[in-house]
Structure 1
Amino acid sequence: MSAPWTDHVIWWQVYPLGFVGAEREALPPGDAPHHRLGRLEPWLDYLLELGCSGLALGPVFASGSHGYDTTDFFRIDPRLGDDGDFDRLVEACRSRGIRVLLDGVFNHVGRDFEPFRRAEQGDPEARRWFRWHGKHGEHPEFFEGHDLLVALDHDEPAVQEHVGAVMRHWLGRGADGWRLDAAYQVPHAFWRAVLPGVRAEHPDAWFVGEVIHGDYAAFVTETGLDAVTQYELWKAIWSALNDRNFYELAHAIERHSAMLDTFAPQTFLGNHDVTRIASRLENGEHLGHALAVLMGVGGVPTIYAGDEQAFTGVKEEHEFGDDAVRPPFPDDPAGLAPFGAPTRELHQRLIGVRRRHPWLTRARTAVEHLDNTTLALRSTGPDEAVVVLLSTDDEPRRFPDLPHGETLAEATGTDDPLLLPPHTWRMLRG
């Protein structure tokens, strides 16, 4: 069961290596750390002004290139700084009441990970850390065919002990939880073996696994994690808006609501691995629709840094194909282009609705009206409800009489709260 604070957190996710404009490859051995992690500090008040309350960091540990090829889990990547830089950032977050989530890559490691270097030299103890194949077990297994990402053997007790020690170390230094990268590739038994010892020392920590497909609720139950990434809802939101077919979204919402019986998923419209929502949507007027769904249904919402400024960027399937969605940011918010202000204001309004109704994290959502171009959702809490009305129709559409109260937020005002102008949305008190 998640700690109580997770029912109130709204994450602002940052990919640190891109955010600070770090080099693509690890610094040469012997180079002094580049103290860049502090560049996040001027953005913490911006995070709060947006309405968020947590900083979800991408990889910050020593790695060969993009952060997901870890070489030392106990060391801050020198391209970002050192332990002192991390401690100062955590303290700056703490002083503002901001939670901190770290990104743990525990399915695989980079080729310069010390135990793997020893394994390649024939060390039998180190070889047990990794999976091997070939007639004589001479070839290491790689993550999804990437020969720079070496797969760990999760049945090996030393690997379990190492991962547990890493988690406890950084939670002890002030982190509040872990995003577990590629959790879907790791045997369920591994998480069941590792997490109890970590929770014993840090009972309020939150653990969310990256899971793309499958039975999310069963995954949470069988692993002991608190949550998983809700890719099914993410895909349904933009796909339904682009196709002007709300049946797909309604189906996903019904499945999503059922998950809330077991856990509250991490919900999002964008992250460091996918095309920006502003680039994904074919009609820019529909960004408010997407955000109204994100903030109006159950789950733990996450805003990917830059999405609230209408940043664009398309993920491409080739080397450095993620660069467009992981760009450097200005030194501070004053350096942002003015064109993003309306999108930021939209986020502030809808995040504000969410913060005033924190019960939404655990809310169940029912579909109350549905056709191709209009959808009404009712999310219900212990004592009240929130209704989300969406229209992608080219004509004004009036919804059938639905129980409702005051308007909480809207794209365009009308005298009749159930009447939506073309391509608009509205949130009502239920």
Structure 2
Amino acid sequence: MSRTEPGWVQHVVWWHIYPLGFVGAHPADPPPAPQEHRLRRVVDWLDHAVTLGASGIALGPIFASRTHGYDTTDHYAIDPRLGDGDDFDALVDEAHRRGLRVLLDGVFNHVGTDFGEKAFLRRRNDGFDTFEGHGELIALDHDNPAVVDYVVEVMTHWLERGADGWRLDAAYAVADSFWAQVLPRVRERFPDAYFLAEIIHGDYSARVRAAGFDSATQYELWKAVWSGLNDGNFHEIDWALLRHNDFLDTFVPMTFVGNHDVTRIASRLDDVRHLEHALVLLMTTGGTPSVYAGDEFAYRGVKEERFGGDDAVRPEFGAPPVPVDPHGADVFRLHQFLIGLRRRHPWLHTARTTALQLTNRQYVYRSADGEQSLVVALNLDDTALPVDFAELGFDRGELLGGSGAPPAETAHSAVVAPHGWLIIAPR
């Protein structure tokens, strides 16, 4: 387990939103004015997050920026399209009143072209260095001690205002030595704060150890889930879960099947029936799960590599409740069931998985932490999957849930329907 992860994180399931899109502030022409207090529209959705079963709100960028929020111009000011500092305080207060933690999105690798502290920017012969070739995103000079001080001050400022932690955007593009200077200083004042690094590829464990992060985004498992389900290849998913077990020896990753940067899982999967399998995998394996707003209703949206290509996966939400079709209502209830199951089994946070039966299209695995375990059976095949509990190493099992909503009963065997799933508690 992580050396530094706060104890409260064991119980967190994040509900993740991209505020600028969520409240219709970007893209918008004309943009909303500060007096519209758009950020308070998020407060209207906090009861929905609680009903879903979430215990934390993971916010996308909310600080002053030029366009999409990842081109920050002032880390100390709320984006005027969202409102002001009072709106932030109200959101945090209302979230905490409901028992919801609040995670902020810190963009400390790069800033927008209107960022005021030019001395903090990384220079090159013909101007300033940019982030991955994006001319509107100027890289901070992380070798400058003043930038270290600045990021420490920004983080502590908003933690003092009530935030519970930070997602560190593009952390993979920043030297580990920078974070290793920043995070201990912030933890001195806020030892219970949580720090999640956006890392897309590379050696997750080595970077977490070197930088001192609490966690990192588990993109390897995200990719394996949707591509393994689409290809009918549980071997890919099992391999990713073996890697995941290794990560858990160092830290507890943030797990997800959707976020603001990727095509929605309901659009990514070729067979809509297998959306259930993706959610079961998310909620029955180790990690700190995150649900991207709208995925609980089976929203669809495809990310495209073009200007405005993120807009489809970052839509505006109206006032709750929103109308959903019968399939969306079913997916919402499934989220509630699986999140509830996870919160009743908090040991799943650090559970390791072991394959018990594995073919291309049928997969039975055990998630366990010490003496506590659940057995999960997933079937992508057109034929049923018989499961004999004795062959899996236990005599009886309680059927907790699955396709067709089987009764909660104790049995010696079970049958998983074609394209179905089942969760079993060994007895």
With normalisation by structure 2, the TM-score equals 0.94
Q: Residues 271-291 of structure 1, C-alpha deviation per residue, up to 9 Å, x if partnerless?
A: 000000000010010111111
2:422 is matched with 426
Distance change >3 Å, CA 32–CA 220, structure 1 → 2: closer
Which residue number corresponds to residue 219 of structure 2? Answer: 231
Structure 2: how far apart are the matches of 1:226 and 1:32?
34
Partner of 2:76: 74
Q: In the aligned structure 2, how far is the partner of 1:388 from the partner of 1:79? A: 45
The SS at the match of 2:367 is: strand
> Is 1:2 aligned to 2:39, yes or no?
no
* Inter-partner Cα distance in structure 2 for 1:35 and 1:7: 33
* Equivalent in the alignment of 2:24: 21
For the residue of structure 2 that corresponds to 1:301, the secondary structure is: strand
Number of the residue aligned with 2:254? 266
**Does the 8 Å contact 2:266/2:295 carry over to 1?**
yes
Identical aligned residues as a percent: 54
Q: Superposition RMSD on alpha carbons, in Å? A: 1.6
1:121 paired residue number: none
- Work out the CA distance in 1 between the residues paired with 2:31 and 2:226: 42
Is the 2:403–2:417 Cα contact (8 Å) retained in structure 1?
A: no
Deviation, 1:417, is: 4.5
Provide the C-alpha distance between the structure 2 equivalents of 1:26 and 1:113, rounded to a whole number of angstroms: 23
- AA partner of residue 361 (structure 1): H
* Distance of 1:376 and 1:221 partners within structure 2: 32
The separation in 2 between residues aligned to 1:33 and 1:260, in whole angstroms, is: 45
Look up the match of 1:122: none
Tell whether 2:328 aligns with 1:325: no
**C-alpha distance in 1, partners of 2:291/2:350?**
18
The alignment partner of 1:114 has SS state of: coil
Question: Following superposition of structure 1 onto structure 2, how do residues 101-116 of structure 1 map, counting pairs within 5 Å?
Answer: 101-116=103-118
The aligned residue for residue 61 of structure 2 is 59
- Secondary structure at the aligned position of 1:2 is classed as coil
- Work out whether residues 34 and 81 of structure 2, in 8 Å CA contact, stay in contact via their aligned partners in 1: no
Q: Which runs of 5+ in 2 are unaligned?
A: none
Secondary structure of 1:102's match? strand
Deviations 1:76-107 (A, max 9, x none): 00110100000001000111110000000000
Question: For residues 27 and 57 of structure 1, what CA distance do their matches in structure 2 show?
Answer: 23
For residues 144 and 269 of structure 1, what CA distance do their matches in structure 2 show?
A: 25
Matches of 1:366 and 1:23, distance apart in 2: 44
Match 1:409 to one of 375, 379, 401: 401
* Deviating more after overlay: 405-414 vs 316-325: 405-414
Displacement after TM superposition at 1:364 (Å): 1.3
Tell whether the 8 Å contact from 1:26 to 1:65 is kept in structure 2 after alignment. Answer: no
Stretches of structure 1 that go unaligned for 5 or more consecutive residues are 117-125
Q: CA–CA distance in 2 between the matches of 1:23 and 1:46? A: 23
Q: 92, 95, 98: which is aligned to 1:93?
A: 95
8 Å CA contact 1:278–1:310 kept in 2: the answer is: yes
Shift of 1:418: 3.4
Normalised to the residue count of structure 1, the TM-score between the two structures is 0.93
Q: CA deviation at 1:26?
A: 9.8
User: Structure 2 counterpart of 1:245, which letter?
Assistant: N
Contact preservation (8 Å) 1:27, 1:78: no
SS of alignment partner, residue 312 of structure 1: coil
What is the DSSP-based 3-state SS (H/G/I as helix, E as strand, rest coil) of the residue aligned with 2:37?
Answer: coil
Which residue pairs with 1:388 in the alignment?
376
Instruction: Provide the rounded CA distance (Å) in 1 between the counterparts of 2:356 and 2:325.
Output: 38
The answer on whether the counterparts of 1:25 and 1:64 sit within 8 Å (CA) in structure 2 is no
* Cα distance in 2, alignment partners of residues 197 and 25 from structure 1: 39
| Structure 1 position 37, deviation (Å) | 0.7
The Cα of 1:27 is off from its aligned counterpart by: 7.7
